[in-house]
Structure 1
Amino acid sequence: MSASKPTFGPDVLRIDAAEAADRIARWIAEQVLGRLRRRGAVVALSGGVDSSVVAALCARALGPHRVLALLMPERESDPESLRLAELVASSLGIRTVTEDITPILDAAGCYQRRDDAIRQVVPEYGPGFKSKLVLPSSATGQLPLFYLVVESPSGVQKRVRLPLDAYLGIVAATSMKQRTRKQMEYYHADRLHYAVAGTPNRLEYDQGFFVKNGDGAADIKPIAHLYKSQVYQLAHALGIPAEITSRTPTTDTYPMPQTQEEFYFSLPYAKIDLCLYGLNHGVSPRDVAAAIGVEPHEAERVYEAILRKRAATRYQHEPALLVEPVPQVG
């Protein structure tokens, strides 16, 4: 009698976290000290689990004295993010520098340009208003069109569908935040002769959840091969504070509180992880549906959404294009 086929579920993402941490730490040391010939690493600490894990891995690989944690709040950041970033830096024994990027963003017109774009659809938007972008769930079958949620000073909320021009204007202005942070990371990396460590996990890297030449820029990306669920396993193995591992992932980009699920992934990370793994490994939508508690046709829609987003964001992974190769430096 043949053995029954193993049930597809969260266990497919289970890793030996201690072994993975040691292997990644060795790789970081080889790349930073060997290939890149840098003296240490700069990590932008956001108070989230991804940057906390990367900081811990760098500290293990290079020693805490060779890691600089850069904290970069701005006037629309959640103060809790700064507190949690300070908490993890203290727990790892790494140095911190805090750079408030609000004056740079103000001078560049980040907030003004974004608000001007919002006023294309909400003319009354002004001082005291808050906003965020949201997506419908991938499993609903709705077109993946962004909606704008605004909240008036009196607390009244309304949701409007965004025309393309307004959406692009909001995103272009808001992306100044990530690009300004990256500028500060490379300033400190240059002055210390350090490398910049990026913090995307596999889900973010695959689905283009980053700003080109912003948070997508880095010298090393130590966890880009790991699904978000696996990053949490590493976090527990590395002793990341529970306040961080129990916190719902957020973007901390817009004035209103915003989860990564409602902004970009449209499903909780544990479910979208299984969908991405299933798609990558040829698992049928029916088996994925049973694992995440949806109907098979809904899982098919998630597969389609992943493929659409992967294709739409391919540009973000492209290096600068050359007319002819330059083999002497390539």
Structure 2
Amino acid sequence: MPLRPSPHHVSELVAWIAQSVRNAQAQGVVLGISGGIDSAVCAALAKQALGDNVLGLILPCHTLAEDLQDARTVCRHFQIPYEEVDLSEVFDHLARLLGSSNARFLGNLKARLRMAVLYHRAAELGYLVMGTSNRSEWEVGYFTKYGDAAADIQPIVHLLKKDVQRLARVLKVPKPILTKPPSAGLWPGQTDEEELGFSYRELDSFLGGRERSLTPPARRRIEELQAQTAHKRRPPLCFAQETSEPYPKQEPLALETSPADKSVEALTVISKAITSDQFLDDILRLIVMVTAEVLHSSVCSLWLLDEEERVLRLRATQAINPEYVKDRVLKVGEGVVGKVVVENKPHIALNVLEDPDFKEKELARRLGLVSMLSIPMRVRNRVIGVINCYTSELHRFTQLEMSVLTAVANQAAVAIENTELMIKSRIIEEELEKRKIIEKAKDLLISRRNMSGEEAYRWLQKKSMDTRKSMREVAEAVLLTLEG
């Protein structure tokens, strides 16, 4: 299903960037401005999220004059503070020391040198480093290891190249940037598509599940790159228990990433998120994004049950299409999602347009949704929500896919329950603290002003009403005055 970046998606990304910077207790972001479309989109989003707390670094290294001018155009167009640091002389010296003349190796050296500068400036300013990788590049490992893939935050890593281009138009990126061939500027005349061996259009078709439209050589090349770079996208290995051997014995790693490997990776990422201090909305959004990637879903959505109103509300989705995300509410028992809640069991629709329980057939037709897997989210056998995965082509969900989505649903339920318990605990803690302060103020009034307990409490109540302040605020003022 084609994604349609919109102003609504821009606002979501802007809010996510601002929240990510706050969570890291950073002051802003540093990002490299190349004059290309990806860094231009990231720069525009960062400016909206953080104002002037954005620093663009233009890092020429034997860079073409037109690319340098494009980078300046981006910064001026979006009014981003920027610095230029010419790395050509440093690069030449380092290349001589290393004694290499291989163009590809030297190109990667440029990327790593630029990343070192970005992190140095970020550390000086207390900023995060913003990466500019998109999903098309990420899926085939088209990033320099310990280069731009090592960034602190990656706002467009979930978007295919074509979606970045659409988002660029929404953000009003200057036309010369929109139309120039994608290039990392690693050597004169270098273009991404020539280096990859296929076009971004072919890559996006492959990642969108339309690999049959590709020529066999292009498909083989993409699959080859995915296999060769799988290790770059894997989380570190963890050992469940200690071993008496100095190093654990491991089977040789297969070149290709199996569905089971991807499932374990997904559950590892989600588990880490659940035990982190991220906000619930961020965790739920991460869950649907990772799940959609692992199950190759066009849309992955997460619905939560409002037990008082007996309705389900859409809380998270990786879909950008505004038709899908706006004002989505279903009654318990309504449609597939409502049925899953009532029956507390999964539902599979081979074709939602032919499923009598699926109610939103016109929406599915417009968005190109075909097959659907819907799983209940349970906490101690009580359903609290539903997670759905859709494909854009006819698909028979395997037992492994059902198991993965069930595990994801259960982990999402744990995240929600933990958040609710944390909120309740905080409320209880705040209530106890409030009572303690009020009692202490009342005791001071009794001892200092010879009031009875009832008189002191009524005095605090009256002051609260007269001043339109809470009882706690009045009590704190009494403590400040009488204890001082």
Q: Name the SS of the counterpart of 1:43 in structure 2.
A: strand
Amino acid at match of 2:191: T
For residues 96-130 of structure 1, the C-alpha deviation after alignment (integer angstroms, 9 at most, x for no partner) is: 11011112212212697332x4xxxxxxxxxxxxx
- Correspondence 1:193 to 2:182: no
- From 202, 223, 226, the equivalent of 1:310 is 226
Amino acid at match of 1:91: H
The equivalent residue for 1:19 is 8
Instruction: Give the aligned length.
Output: 246
Looking at structure 2, the residues matched to 111 and 45 of structure 1 have their Cα atoms a distance apart, in angstroms, of 28
Looking at structure 1, the residues matched to 143 and 5 of structure 2 have their Cα atoms a distance apart, in angstroms, of 28
Q: Residues 173 and 205 from structure 1, CA distance in 2 versus in 1: closer, same or farther, beyond 3 angstroms?
A: same
The equivalent residue for 1:58 is 46
Looking at structure 2, the residues matched to 243 and 191 of structure 1 have their Cα atoms a distance apart, in angstroms, of 33
- Correspondence 1:213 to 2:149: no
Amino acid at match of 2:49: A
- Correspondence 1:179 to 2:167: no
Amino acid at match of 2:228: A
The equivalent residue for 2:194 is 262
Looking at structure 2, the residues matched to 69 and 55 of structure 1 have their Cα atoms a distance apart, in angstroms, of 8
Q: Residues 175 and 320 from structure 1, CA distance in 2 versus in 1: closer, same or farther, beyond 3 angstroms?
A: farther
Looking at structure 1, the residues matched to 43 and 177 of structure 2 have their Cα atoms a distance apart, in angstroms, of 13
Amino acid at match of 1:245: L
Looking at structure 1, the residues matched to 237 and 96 of structure 2 have their Cα atoms a distance apart, in angstroms, of 28
The alignment yields a C-alpha RMSD, in angstroms, of 2.6
Q: Residues 97 and 322 from structure 1, CA distance in 2 versus in 1: closer, same or farther, beyond 3 angstroms?
A: farther
**Alpha-carbon offset, residue 320 of structure 1:** 5.8
**Alpha-carbon offset, residue 78 of structure 1:** 1.4
- From 187, 196, 203, the equivalent of 1:272 is 203
Could you tell me the TM-score, scaled by structure 1's length? Answer: 0.69
The equivalent residue for 1:235 is 168
Looking at structure 2, the residues matched to 178 and 319 of structure 1 have their Cα atoms a distance apart, in angstroms, of 22
Same amino acid, percent of matched pairs: 31
For residues 272-302 of structure 1, the C-alpha deviation after alignment (integer angstroms, 9 at most, x for no partner) is: 2112212xxxx461xx35xxxxxxxx2x443
**Alpha-carbon offset, residue 318 of structure 1:** 4.2
**Alpha-carbon offset, residue 321 of structure 1:** 5.6
For residues 32-84 of structure 1, the C-alpha deviation after alignment (integer angstroms, 9 at most, x for no partner) is: 11x21111011100000000000101111111x11000000012x21111111
Amino acid at match of 1:95: P
The equivalent residue for 1:29 is 18
Q: Residues 106 and 323 from structure 1, CA distance in 2 versus in 1: closer, same or farther, beyond 3 angstroms?
A: farther
Alignment of 1:1-330 (within 5 A): 12-33=1-22, 35-63=23-51, 65-75=52-62, 77-109=63-95, 113-115=99-101, 117=102, 170-254=103-187, 256-264=188-196, 266-278=197-209, 283=210, 285=212, 288-289=213-214, 298=215, 300-318=216-234
**Alpha-carbon offset, residue 172 of structure 1:** 3.3
**Alpha-carbon offset, residue 194 of structure 1:** 0.5
Looking at structure 2, the residues matched to 199 and 55 of structure 1 have their Cα atoms a distance apart, in angstroms, of 9
Q: Residues 284 and 72 from structure 1, CA distance in 2 versus in 1: closer, same or farther, beyond 3 angstroms?
A: closer
Looking at structure 1, the residues matched to 85 and 97 of structure 2 have their Cα atoms a distance apart, in angstroms, of 18
Q: Residues 301 and 23 from structure 1, CA distance in 2 versus in 1: closer, same or farther, beyond 3 angstroms?
A: same
Amino acid at match of 2:186: T
Contact (CA 8 Å) 1:47, 1:81: kept in 2 or not? yes
Contact (CA 8 Å) 2:129, 2:153: kept in 1 or not? yes
The equivalent residue for 1:163 is none
Q: Name the SS of the counterpart of 2:120 in structure 1.
A: helix
Contact (CA 8 Å) 2:136, 2:160: kept in 1 or not? yes
Looking at structure 2, the residues matched to 248 and 235 of structure 1 have their Cα atoms a distance apart, in angstroms, of 14
Looking at structure 1, the residues matched to 140 and 75 of structure 2 have their Cα atoms a distance apart, in angstroms, of 29
The equivalent residue for 1:147 is none
Q: Residues 103 and 307 from structure 1, CA distance in 2 versus in 1: closer, same or farther, beyond 3 angstroms?
A: same
Could you tell me the TM-score, scaled by structure 2's length? Answer: 0.48
Unaligned runs of 5+ in 2: 243-271, 277-484
Looking at structure 2, the residues matched to 67 and 284 of structure 1 have their Cα atoms a distance apart, in angstroms, of 39
Looking at structure 1, the residues matched to 219 and 199 of structure 2 have their Cα atoms a distance apart, in angstroms, of 15
Bigger Cα Rg: 2
Contact (CA 8 Å) 2:56, 2:83: kept in 1 or not? yes
Looking at structure 1, the residues matched to 240 and 106 of structure 2 have their Cα atoms a distance apart, in angstroms, of 33
Looking at structure 2, the residues matched to 46 and 67 of structure 1 have their Cα atoms a distance apart, in angstroms, of 15
Q: Residues 172 and 322 from structure 1, CA distance in 2 versus in 1: closer, same or farther, beyond 3 angstroms?
A: farther
Q: Residues 325 and 113 from structure 1, CA distance in 2 versus in 1: closer, same or farther, beyond 3 angstroms?
A: farther
Looking at structure 2, the residues matched to 102 and 183 of structure 1 have their Cα atoms a distance apart, in angstroms, of 14
Looking at structure 1, the residues matched to 73 and 174 of structure 2 have their Cα atoms a distance apart, in angstroms, of 8
Unaligned runs of 5+ in 1: 1-11, 118-169, 290-297
Q: Residues 197 and 110 from structure 1, CA distance in 2 versus in 1: closer, same or farther, beyond 3 angstroms?
A: farther
Q: Name the SS of the counterpart of 1:272 in structure 2.
A: helix
Contact (CA 8 Å) 2:59, 2:114: kept in 1 or not? yes
Q: Residues 246 and 325 from structure 1, CA distance in 2 versus in 1: closer, same or farther, beyond 3 angstroms?
A: farther
Q: Residues 175 and 321 from structure 1, CA distance in 2 versus in 1: closer, same or farther, beyond 3 angstroms?
A: farther
Amino acid at match of 1:216: A
**Alpha-carbon offset, residue 17 of structure 1:** 2.1
**Alpha-carbon offset, residue 215 of structure 1:** 1.8
Amino acid at match of 2:84: T
Contact (CA 8 Å) 1:40, 1:67: kept in 2 or not? yes
Q: Name the SS of the counterpart of 2:148 in structure 1.
A: coil
